[in-house]
Amino acid sequence: MTAAPVVSVKDVRKAFGRGASAVFALDRVSLDVAPGEFVALLGASGCGKSTLLSLIAGLDEPSAGSIAVAGDGAALMPQEGGLFPWLTAGRNVELALRLRGMGRSERRTEAERLLGLVRLEGAYGKRPHELSGGMRQRVALARALAQQRQVLLMDEPFSALDAITRDALHTELVRLWEETGLAVVFVTHNVREAVRLGQRVVLLSSRPGRVLREWQVDLPQPRRIESEGVSRLAGEITEHLSAEIRRHASANGAGSSRTEEPLDVRR
């Protein structure tokens, strides 16, 4: 028997504005995420990836359709981490624990455990400005894990990092995903990153975002972003996306000076 999905998106539309001036970011999007599944959500800039993540997180409501998330909803890790600069790493993590109703003495112990889980032992008392970009993202990940949800939403969390740091965090994220059994929905515009991490890659069309195509990634973990299998599948996905970008540009006027940004296929 197939387990019930932990995320179920059914015929979702999202419009901003009203009447003739309304702009549709998403149109009839349907997507199910199984328990423990890692789904990479891919598309060009402006295709509605982050909008869909916000809807799943419950930060906004769809204009039409329905979204169901198992348990108490999903934990969200935003692109910039969202750490409070006046709090230490440990106190940032404790915010999520406090919202769960955990007592003060328990919070300290659990925050240190979670920081250890993301390989930041000894960082409890450090403030964000004392940490590298990669370390700050680890703190943000520990805070998301502290929410104890079945679903983790990640909105381009590594896009601002250098290639070496990003690669190291890819490895750590896969380790945590395998250890925790979380379902992950990972938004990115980097094709190789999507194939490096995901069990399934879902490609959205240009605005309004629709599910254009899906790929099952039948490559064993751990994967390397430069490996032959990752490169081959990333190339296939890029061809489909490039065709979609050309179609969208043509539909909106070949003479337009601004078109969708191409996807990043580099490391």
Structural domain containing residue 134: 84-148
Q: Quick one: 53 and 175 in the same domain?
A: yes
Please indicate, yes or no, whether residues 103 and 58 belong to a single structural domain of this protein. no
Task: Indicate if 159 and 250 belong to the same structural domain.
Answer: yes
Q: What is the predicted pLDDT for the residue at 260?
A: 41
Task: Let me know whether 246 and 164 are in one domain.
Answer: yes
**Whether 10 and 44 share a structural domain:** yes
pTM attached to this predicted model: 0.90
Residue 86 vs residues 59, 82, 92, 125, 185: alpha-carbon distances, Å: 25, 12, 9, 11, 30
Q: Is residue 231 part of a domain?
A: yes
How does strand 7-16 pair with strand 151-155?
Answer: unpaired
pLDDT band per the 50, 70, 90 thresholds, residue 78: confident
In a domain, residue 113? The reply is yes
Percent of the chain with pLDDT over 90: 73
Q: Is residue 79 part of a domain?
A: no
Verify that 140 and 242 share a domain, yes or no. Answer: no
Question: How much is the pLDDT for 266?
Answer: 45
Residues 155 and 256 in one domain: yes
The total number of structural domains in the chain stands at: 2
As given in the structure block, the two tokens for residue 130 are: 């004392």
Among the candidates 116, 131, 148, a domain finishes at 148
pLDDT single digits (tens) 131-162 = 999 999 999 999 999 999 999 999 999 988 99
Using the 3D structure, point to which of 121, 148, 175 is the last residue of a domain.
Answer: 148
pLDDT above 80 (res 22): yes
